[in-house]
Structure 1
């Protein structure tokens, strides 16, 4: 998008970097994870700069190429023995702390709304309550793992609730986009996510947050059953 203040790009870039570094740390500094993630970011960045995602009239929508590959990859990990083994070795404390990035994301979404890049419904002034997950993440990290006072049921409930809030904003974003199945915000559709660098939100940050919840929920359920 044009005519956006550089501040928005800086805060969003910070969000991408924080997500990347915390994911890297949570995977015990796995080089394959870092290499694959960086290649994916570069690929999606190059594709978005070509204007590929701004074409919204085709079916199936090109936007699906941002969300679906990482989601399919994440789900596939649960069906692969080595994938499950890898996930069980990840640091859930860091994966919990990773959710602080949602504060930066919500600030960026609000600013994008002010510049008509997304509808109000996608911000914390609308029906997006995802910022609560980012605000509470440091508390859950500290009282859940550093100075453990929260039980596994509380940690599990927090992750499930935050996962539902994530699903809510993803569905809202998709149904607010100028795609053939748009249902919301016809007067102010969600267009910013089709442009660089904001394609990294649905293409990287959202799948990473989704992944962090799934891994943590899996670990909590396994611990509960033992």
Structure 2
């Protein structure tokens, strides 16, 4: 990893910061009163999780590839459980659905630099080309189309809910597709693909933030967006 060109880590870290910025901005906009501190509380929780994740990665915790269960589960499961809790508890769900859907949709733009970084990592033999847009990963289309969806499907006065719902389901499917293949391409006891070049980059800093933060943030944006779109009484903006 030390021989990896620094611009790859730089672009990825910038993307992670942008993802955090979208989340913070959206939570801030959802505050009903100026003295609400929900955005600060959410930021502290996220930063705490990222600190724990980075610390474990820097201490090679995730590099025990033969562990069972695979240690990648400790990266993916906590944020997914957190999302489930937030959307299951009425008080927190009522709060997050106030996040403007335009902000939730614009967040998906980060999927473009993520896909570019994955391709760079494949060139440097740290992930298989299978997980890039040269393989079975078409997730870059989600990021490319996100601004158009934000402007023309959910950002104008005439809302196109059906089209926006369809886009969210299709792009959520693309996310699930690449995450599933990425898990099965990692060098763990459940590996099923890419034995010649496993998916190893995501076990190191800073790329551990992809499954541990960026993917959950994208998933959160999809789920909250769909809740808003299916609720006709819910304001989209």
Equivalent residue in structure 2 for 1:122, among 112, 126, 131: 131
Equivalent residue in structure 2 for 1:165, among 153, 174, 185: 174
Aligned partner of 2:231 in structure 1 is 222
Aligned partner of 1:12 in structure 2 is 12
The answer to whether residue 107 in structure 2 is matched with residue 101 in structure 1 is no
Please, which runs of 5 or more residues in structure 2 have no aligned partner?
30-38
Structure 2: distance between partners of 1:94 and 1:148: 16
Instruction: Specify the SS of the correspondent of 2:3.
Output: coil
Q: Is the 8 A contact 2:154 2:164 kept in 1?
A: no
Structure 1: distance between partners of 2:18 and 2:146: 14
72-81 or 91-100, which moves further after superposition?
72-81
The answer to whether residue 140 in structure 2 is matched with residue 131 in structure 1 is yes
TM-score, structure 2 normalization: 0.92
Q: Is the 8 A contact 1:142 1:148 kept in 2?
A: no
Aligned partner of 2:162 in structure 1 is 153
Deviation at 1:121, TM superposition (A): 0.6
Deviation at 1:38, TM superposition (A): 1.1
Q: Is the 8 A contact 1:99 1:133 kept in 2?
A: yes
Deviation at 1:78, TM superposition (A): 2.3
Could you list the per-position Cα deviations for residues 59-108 of structure 1 after superposition, in whole angstroms to 9, with x for gaps in the alignment?
01111110000001101222211121112211211010000000010000
- CA RMSD in angstroms, aligned pairs only: 1.5
Write out the 4+ residue segments of structure 1 that deviate beyond 3 Å after TM superposition. Answer: none
TM-score, structure 1 normalization: 0.96
